[in-house]
């Protein structure tokens, strides 16, 4: 195995970054500094270090999680908040999230130890599609939809790329949208909606590249199939040289009732912790969010250019539209 691929499979870095580590003299093989790209290593018998720390390559492993809200997209958290890894306690190989969904966001999240694939999926040059269902606290006009589709100027002066936007069934007080992005600006959907003068009430990612949470309850996870892995790698120009077993699933021994109770306790504990720190609740600024998020409080200090609609309706329907994936599910459901 080439050294740079070994480092990528160990989760140290994507292959290009691994090459930089090698040429910088930060990698040793059996105690000797190696600067030559393409150096072959034996994953079983050779000892490899980066900056003096031993690293070990693993088989590539790919996990799809239907992320619940009220947990952080991180491996660990120094403030003790729940992370997505709590839902992967029995995962056989260490994995890391590919991008982020924020604290209040639900939906499709990929985790893997394939650093090269992760880097390519997140690269802005590859335009990997991400689809969201968005609940807006207003009735949007046709002009609003056109702005979202064509590209809208954000608060930092940048303009978004064209997006795929469809109206989903809703009620007279709210608008449900299906939005597919091909870029990944920070809090992009929130900022797009805020640029229109409205507020996002809920956001759920229903697809990432070719992945959806079909038949996967909130909080559950499974290993990707070989077909899914091959499709992801095709999307970003990688070969089919990795093997996915597709057999692992998250532990389903507990019934739904204890899962709901535990999830509710996590939400209450996180909000109580934020209150005790004087933050008035959990805010997105509590952590860096690479990916879009949902159902979070409005940004502190944000002003709206347009007041939300005050029209009301008895009850609220969950949207369902063909071609847009499953409808968002309430947080009072499974999870």
Contact 86, 71 (CB under 8 A): yes
Reference 59, options 233, 246, 227; nearest CA is: 246
Gap between the Cα atoms of 306 and 291, Å rounded:
26
Contact 226, 62 (CB under 8 A): no
Contact 237, 128 (CB under 8 A): no
User: Is 42 marked active-site?
Assistant: no
- Bridge partners (DSSP) of residue 2 are 40
Per-residue DSSP letter, 287: S
- CA dist 305 → 2, 58, 308, 327 (Å): 55, 51, 10, 29
Q: How far is it between the farthest Cα atoms of the chain?
A: 71
Contact 224, 242 (CB under 8 A): no
Tokens of 189: 């959907």
Gap between the Cα atoms of 335 and 333, Å rounded:
6
The dihedral region occupied by 41, where left means phi > 0, alpha psi between -120 and 50, and beta the remainder, is beta
Gap between the Cα atoms of 206 and 212, Å rounded:
6
Strand pairing of 62-67 and 106-112?
A: antiparallel
Contact 290, 186 (CB under 8 A): yes
Gap between the Cα atoms of 2 and 41, Å rounded:
6
Q: Which of 46, 102, 144, 155 is catalytic?
A: 102
Gap between the Cα atoms of 10 and 51, Å rounded:
14
Gap between the Cα atoms of 295 and 311, Å rounded:
20
Q: Which residues are marked as active site?
A: 102
């Amino acid at each position: 195995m080439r050294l740079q691929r070994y480092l990528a499979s160990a989760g140290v870095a994507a292959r290009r970054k691994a090459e930089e580590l090698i040429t910088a003299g930060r990698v040793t093989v059996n105690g000797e500094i190696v600067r030559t790209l393409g150096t072959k290593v034996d994953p079983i018998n050779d000892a490899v270090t980066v900056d003096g720390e031993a690293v070990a390559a693993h088989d590539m492993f790919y996990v799809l999680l239907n992320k619940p809200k009220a947990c952080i997209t991180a491996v660990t958290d120094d403030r003790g908040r729940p992370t997505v890894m709590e839902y992967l306690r029995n995962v056989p190989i260490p994995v890391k999230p590919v991008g982020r969904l924020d604290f209040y966001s639900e939906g499709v999240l990929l985790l893997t130890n394939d650093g090269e694939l992760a880097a390519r999926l997140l690269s802005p040059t590859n335009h990997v599609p991400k689809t969201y269902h968005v609940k807006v606290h207003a009735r949007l006009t046709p002009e609003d939809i056109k702005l979202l589709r064509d590209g809208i100027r954000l608060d930092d002066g940048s303009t978004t790329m064209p997006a795929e936007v469809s109206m989903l069934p809703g009620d007279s007080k709210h608008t449900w949208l299906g939005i597919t992005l091909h870029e990944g600006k920070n809090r992009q959907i929130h900022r797009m909606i805020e640029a229109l003068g409205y507020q996002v009430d809920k956001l759920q990612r229903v697809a990432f590249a070719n992945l959806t949470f079909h038949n996967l309850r909130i909080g559950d996870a499974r290993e990707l199939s070989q077909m899914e892995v091959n499709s992801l790698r095709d999307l970003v120009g990688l070969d089919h040289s990795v093997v996915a077993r597709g057999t692992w699933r998250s532990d389903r021994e507990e019934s739904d009732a204890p899962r709901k109770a535990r999830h509710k306790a996590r939400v209450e504990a996180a909000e109580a912790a934020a209150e005790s720190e004087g933050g008035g609740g959990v805010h997105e600024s509590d952590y860096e969010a690479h990916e879009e998020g949902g159902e979070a409080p409005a940004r502190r200090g944000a002003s709206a250019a347009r007041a939300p609609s005050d029209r009301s309706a008895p009850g609220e329907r969950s949207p369902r539209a063909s071609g847009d994936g499953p409808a968002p599910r309430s947080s009072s459901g499974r999870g």
